[in-house]
Amino acid sequence: MQNADIARTLNRLANLLDIEGANAFRVRAYRSAAQTIEFHPHALQDMVAREEPLTELPGIGRDLAEKITELINTGHLPVLEEAEKRLPPGLSQLMRVGQLGPARVRQLFEALGIDSLDALKKAARNGRIRTLEGFGEKTEAGVLKEAERLDDTPPRVRLDEAHQAAADLIAWLERAGGAQRLSAAGSLRRGRDTVGDLDILVSSEDAAAVMTHLASYPEIAETVSHGTTKSTLLLHSGVQVDVRVVDDESFGAALYYFTGSQAHNIATRKMATERGLKINEYGVYRGEKRLAGRTEEEVLAQIDLPWITPELRENRGEIEAAREGTLPALVTLDDIRGDLHMHTTASDGRASLEEMAHAARQRGYRYIAITDHSKRLAMANGLDAKRLREQMSEIDALNERLKNFTVLKGNEVDILEDGALDLPDDVLKELDVCVFSVHSKFNLSREQQTTRILRAMDNPHVNILAHPTGRIINGRQGYDVDIEAVLHGARERGVFLEINAQPARLDLSDHWVHMARDIGVALAINTDAHATDQLGHMTLGVTQARRGWLEKSDVLNTRTVTQLKKMMRR
DNA sequence: GCCGTTTTCGGCCCGACTGTTTTCAGTCG
């Protein structure tokens, strides 16, 4: 049983209890536990097997620890099964429909017997929902639309797409008369690998003018709501956007509030309450008196905390670290000296060796590694030993011509099914950097996949395990692999892992990055660029590294080329 | 159901917008 399964079960229970009208705080406790578990890096199943106390996790007390242990051991959660005797299980699904919360789901069930998405759509089309008290034609139409949208919209957009959509809209809003400060907030600002909806914040003395200008944005497909200071829009790209306008003196408080995360906000608001203060999106207040709000620093200073970078605001220890003055000095883009994973026209890249080198140099790098595919990836025109040696000679010749810049000889060698490598040792040992990765046999069991990768690491010539889970965001799940075991294996063998900065990969993801830091495995942040402009994905990779609390010294490619070469010799 | 440098009991973040209402409940983030 995976953490995601446990989280899903608890959420289902929370939904049913919510619909029944159970104590709202009890419901919240289940939801918050589900969230903690979903993002917890260690499998709770293993923790239970090792008899580690689950009550160590925030929001999990004695009762929940017992229930979760029973769920893991028996596959049953009696309190859920009892709830499913009282209410149809399908009601939990209805909670996913926009505009429907517990009260309306209960009403729909009690009055019309609606207990599934299909029943809901049918009732809406027949005009039966509008007959209920508190419902009308608009609600009926809105609910139908939301129910239909559930079927085909991907739930979250990629970080790079969200960045682009936000930049476009901010550029549009800057042209509104009177917009003072503008910023993206929400999970985009926190740098999560996917974004649910965009939050855009504007400060202005003339909210009406900004809102009017916003309404004429050509990318709007649908206006979900539109008030005097807040609007929710659906763009043609399928992205949902919340735009909020506040006075400039509240911009910092609003930015802080809308950046979240919700868990982070709840924690700091609670600290405020303990000090007799109240934090909302307009400022920090003692009674009616406003104490701060212009900047985030001002707001946090009121609860005796230093500014916390948005990437850390997940209530995963950053508040305690801030209080104790032990926040990490996170790695920045400026710290990056090179890029250790990229392709050229020799395999499936679109730019030549020389073009990639020049583009990297223009970004201020001191080195790159050229890592084309190996021969197994025939589809990508992978290199055999002979072609790889020819490329090495080309690199030697290029290095002769370049000053203050080094092209490292590399390859992205395929890990075969049994853990052997796709190129012979005598050529691998001539490489400066050997990146190795899985491109086939994704459906091996967890044990087989883990053994396969560990065996590949046993080869003394490999250095950096690329895109370690193989996931494609909104595309496919990664292969099943015990990353914790891989990290320990890497540490024992002097091997490193990669944060692949391709926006569709961002692999490792943040919680694995954090675990790598805890275990003490340095990571390389690589773009896996297949064209010169893709070298720019480095920013996304650095963001993931920051979300995993990495400092400069935790990142391989902040080293000088001399240091790096030494670390690549095992 | 969780939690505790005010509390082991009594709190639990806070406000905008909508639709359907005559003053507000429900939803959302």
The model's pLDDT over A438-466, given as tens digits with 9 standing for 90+, comes to: 998 888 888 999 999 999 999 999 999 99
Determine whether the distance from the CB of A274 to the nearest atom of strand B is below 7 Å.
yes
Grade residue A276 by pLDDT with cuts at 50, 70 and 90.
confident
Per-residue pLDDT at A23 exceeds 90: no
Tokens of A505: 């990969």
Residue nearest to nucleotide B27 (CA to C1'): A99
Q: What nucleotide is nearest A227 when CA is compared to C1'?
A: B17
For residue A518, the tally of other CB atoms under 10 A from its CB is: 13
Among chain A residues 91 through 130, which have CB within 7 angstroms of nucleic chain B? 97-105, 130
Determine whether the distance from the CB of A338 to the nearest atom of strand B is below 7 Å.
no
Residue nearest to nucleotide B4 (CA to C1'): A274
Per-residue pLDDT at A181 exceeds 90: yes
Determine whether the distance from the CB of A142 to the nearest atom of strand B is below 7 Å.
yes
What sign has the CA pseudo-torsion A9, A12, A18, A19?
negative
Mean pLDDT of chain A: 91
What 3-state class would DSSP assign to A197?
A: coil
Q: Which residues pair with A111 in a beta bridge?
A: none
Per-residue pLDDT at A274 exceeds 90: no
Grade residue A379 by pLDDT with cuts at 50, 70 and 90.
confident
Question: Which of A73-77, A155-159, A424-428 is predicted least confidently?
Answer: A155-159
- Triad A550, A306, A285: Cα angle to 5°: 140
Chain-centre distance for alpha carbon A560: 29
Q: What nucleotide is nearest A102 when CA is compared to C1'?
A: B26
Determine whether the distance from the CB of A273 to the nearest atom of strand B is below 7 Å.
yes
Determine whether the distance from the CB of A138 to the nearest atom of strand B is below 7 Å.
yes
Per-residue pLDDT at A265 exceeds 70: yes
Question: Which of A27-36, A488-497, A558-567 is predicted least confidently?
Answer: A27-36
pLDDT of residue A149: 78
Determine whether the distance from the CB of A139 to the nearest atom of strand B is below 7 Å.
yes
Residue nearest to nucleotide B6 (CA to C1'): A274
Rounded CA–C1' distance between A269 and B20, in angstroms:
33
Mean pLDDT, range A347-373, rounded to an integer: 94
For residue A488, the tally of other CB atoms under 10 A from its CB is: 15
Residue keyed to tokens 């690998």: A193
Grade residue A43 by pLDDT with cuts at 50, 70 and 90.
confident
Q: What nucleotide is nearest A17 when CA is compared to C1'?
A: B1
Among chain A residues 242 through 271, which have CB within 7 angstroms of nucleic chain B? 242, 258, 262, 265-266, 269-270
Q: Which nucleotides of B are covered by protein (CB under 7 A)?
A: 1-3, 6-7, 11-21, 25-29
Residue keyed to tokens 């001002």: A298
For residue A203, the tally of other CB atoms under 10 A from its CB is: 24
Among chain A residues 458 through 487, which have CB within 7 angstroms of nucleic chain B? none
Per-residue pLDDT at A39 exceeds 80: no
Determine whether the distance from the CB of A230 to the nearest atom of strand B is below 7 Å.
yes
Contact A166, A217 (CB under 8 A): no
Per-residue pLDDT at A206 exceeds 80: yes
Q: For residue range A107-155, what is the model confidence (pLDDT) as tens digits?
A: 999 999 999 888 999 999 989 999 888 888 888 988 888 888 776 666 6
Mean pLDDT, range A179-191, rounded to an integer: 95
Q: Which residues pair with A15 in a beta bridge?
A: none
Rounded CA–C1' distance between A107 and B25, in angstroms:
13
Grade residue A541 by pLDDT with cuts at 50, 70 and 90.
very high
Q: For residue range A401-425, what is the model confidence (pLDDT) as tens digits?
A: 998 999 999 999 999 988 999 999 9
pLDDT of residue A239: 86
Tokens of A562: 């001399």
Determine whether the distance from the CB of A55 to the nearest atom of strand B is below 7 Å.
yes
